Amino acid sequence: MKNNEIHEANQSDFLKNVSDVLLQAQKNAKTAVNLSMVYAYYEIGRMIVEEEQHGENRAAYGKKLLKELSTYLTGMFGKGYSAENLKLMRRFYSIYSHDQIGETVFTQFENLPAVSTGRKFYLSWSHYLKLMRIDNIDERHFYEIECVKNDWSLSELKRQYNSALYERLALSTDKDKVYRLALEGQKVETPKDAVKDPYVLEFLGLKELPEYSESELESRIIDHLQQFLLELGTGFAFIGRQVRFTFDEEHFMVDLVFYNRLLRCFVLFDLKIGELKHQDIGQMQMYVNYYDRKVKLPDENKTIGIVLCRDKNNAVVEMTLPEDNSQIFASKYETVLPKKEDLKKLLEEQIAVENGGAEE
C-alpha cells in the first residue's frame, strides 16, 4: 500500500472515530432527556392527584383541573399536554407510587435519581405507556427488566409482549422460577433455561405460504436473523448455517449453529417442517456427541441440541431421550402469534395444579 493510501485510510478512521464520539454523546443526551421527562411526568401525576384530593366533588373538580392545566401548559410548552395525556401522567403516578422493582438487577444504574418511594425509572415514556397497560404486576416487572437488560426498543417490547414471552417462559418452568421472572427477568443458568417451547416465528411470513420446505424455513430464518436472535433470547451469537462435518467418511450438515455466551456452549438447531420422529432426535444426539468430542474446547460446557419442528408427540420425545437428559430438546415453532389469553389460562391452570400438589 502506498503512503498516500495509508494516510487516507488513517484519516478515514480518524474521521469515523470522531463522529462516533459525537453520535454516542447525542444518544446519551437523548437518553438523559427522555429519563428526565419520565421523572417529570411522575411528579406532575403526583401533583395532580394531591390537588384533586382537595376538591369536594373530586370527579367534577378533577375534570375542571385537567382542562385548566392542559390549557396553561399547552400555552407555555406547546403540544403534549392534552387532558388525555395528563390523565396518563396521573395514572403513571397512581401505578408506580405503589410499585417497587429489585434494584440489584440494574447495578449499572446506581446513580439514577429516585422518587420519594425509592422507585427508579430506566426506560422512555413510550415504554412506560405500554407497560402501564399490563395489569399483572409480575408480568409488568418481567417486561420492564427485560427491556432494560436487553435494550429493547418500543417495537421489540410490543413484539415480545404480543408473542406472550412471559407466559411461554413461565409454562416451561416450575413455579419457583416463575416467581423469579418478576424479580430477575429471564435467567439463563442451565440448558433448559435457554430453550423455549414454542418458538414464535411470525416474522418469517410463512403463514402466507400454503406449504414450504425445510430449506425455505432455513432461508427465511437467515433473512430475518436479527429477529430470530431476539426470539432465541439472551446471549446467543450466530456461527453458521449448513455447517458441515465428516464422520466415518460420511458428510453431515447441521442446519444452524449458534453459541451461547452465558452457558458457554454451542447450540445446534435442526429444522423439521413436519411431525417429529424418533429418528430426528437420534440424529441430533449424534450431532451433539460430535460437537462435544471434536469441536468444543475442554473448558466449554456440553453442547445443546434443539430439534425445531412444526408438530411433536411429547410421549415419543420422552421415550426416546434418557431420563437424565439435559442436552437434547424438541420444541415446536408457530408461524403466527399465539393467543395470549389461551396461554394465560394455561399458566393459571398450571400454577393452580402445582399449588394444589404442594398442599397435598
Residue tagged 418469517 (cell numbers): 204
Q: What are the residues whose beta carbons fall under 8 Å from the beta carbon of 125, sequence distance 6 or more?
A: 34, 37, 38, 41
Q: What are phi and psi of 250, to 5 degrees?
A: -120, 140
pLDDT for the residue 296: 95
Instruction: Provide φ and ψ at 49, rounded to 5°.
Output: -60, -45
Q: β-strand 199-200 against 328-334: which pairing, if any?
A: parallel
Query: Tens-of-pLDDT digits for all 360 residues of the chain?
Result: 555 555 555 566 656 676 776 676 666 666 677 888 999 999 999 998 988 887 556 667 777 888 999 999 999 888 889 999 999 999 999 999 998 887 666 666 677 888 888 889 999 999 999 999 999 999 999 999 999 988 899 999 999 999 999 988 888 776 667 777 878 888 888 898 899 888 999 999 887 677 889 999 999 999 999 999 999 988 999 999 999 998 888 899 999 999 999 999 999 999 999 888 889 999 999 999 999 999 999 999 999 999 999 888 888 888 888 888 889 999 999 988 888 888 888 877 777 766 665 443
- For residue 306, the model assigns a pLDDT of 96
- List of residues 6+ apart from 193 with CB closer than 8 A: 173, 186, 187
- Looking at this protein, which amino acid is placed at residue 6? I
